[in-house]
Amino acid sequence: MALTPEDVVNKRFQSTKFREGYDQDEVDDFLDEVVVELRRLTAENEELKARAGSGVPAEPAAAVEVAPAPEVVAEPVAAPVAVAAPVVAEPIDETAGTTNLLQLARRLHEEHVKEGAEKRDALIAEGHATAARLVAEAEAKQRAQLTILDQERSVLETKIDDLRTFEREYRQKLKSYIETQLHDLDATSPVESGNASKSSFQSFGA
């Protein structure tokens, strides 16, 4: 196909669905078309240069024109026949157009590469920021859970201390009660001892 600089300028690629940037296959196919067209133009340009150097006319020579003889007063003499020189077609200079097209294709490729690199760097930076945020949130959550566990442990330790204190006091009271009962049993008669033990036990329960 005949590719023009306007075709390159107006070319639009389809954006991809699952990642940023353009479809790489579509860009490669278009660049292949650009290369084919540049090679064709280069070959035509070389052919025209070869024709111009060898003197071969690109178009048929013009028809021979005969100029009318000038009028002579003394004696009529036939005028020489003027033959027009063959017209050699000048080669079309397409070097500038080929160079411009090549530069345009190269610039387009560089812009796509630069855009892809910028998007890649942006995605990497966004990924790092997301990872840092998730790590910070996880650490904060862990610290909060550790704080709650420390508070619950303190409450449990307080309850254990209270139970130990209660157990110690209860053992002390029980020991005192038993010692009192034994002392009363040694000091009183069996009947009185039974009544005293009953009354002491009631007082201990109260």
The two tokens of residue 3 are 């590719």
For residue 69, what pLDDT is reported?
A: 41
For residue 9, what pLDDT is reported?
A: 61
In a domain, residue 182? The reply is yes
Q: What is the pTM assigned to this prediction?
A: 0.32
In a domain, residue 186? The reply is yes
In a domain, residue 188? The reply is yes
- Do residues 50 and 58 touch, judged by C-beta distance below 8 A? no
Domain that holds residue 177: 159-205
For residue 11, what pLDDT is reported?
A: 74
In a domain, residue 19? The reply is no
Comparing CA positions, the residue from 16, 187, 43, 34 lying closest to residue 116 is 16
For residue 197, what pLDDT is reported?
A: 55
Tally the residues of the chain.
206
In a domain, residue 193? The reply is yes
- Binned average pLDDT, 10 residues per bin, the chain of 206 residues: 66 68 79 86 88 64 40 44 46 65 86 89 92 93 93 93 92 91 79 56 55
- Do residues 38 and 4 touch, judged by C-beta distance below 8 A? no
The sign one gets for the Cα dihedral 183, 188, 190, 192 is: negative
For residue 84, what pLDDT is reported?
A: 46
Cα angle, residue 90 at apex, residues 88 and 94 outer, rounded to 5°: 155
In a domain, residue 95? The reply is no
Domain count of the chain? 1
Strand spans (E) along 20-174: none
Comparing CA positions, the residue from 92, 80, 97, 112 lying closest to residue 46 is 92
In a domain, residue 195? The reply is yes
In a domain, residue 165? The reply is yes
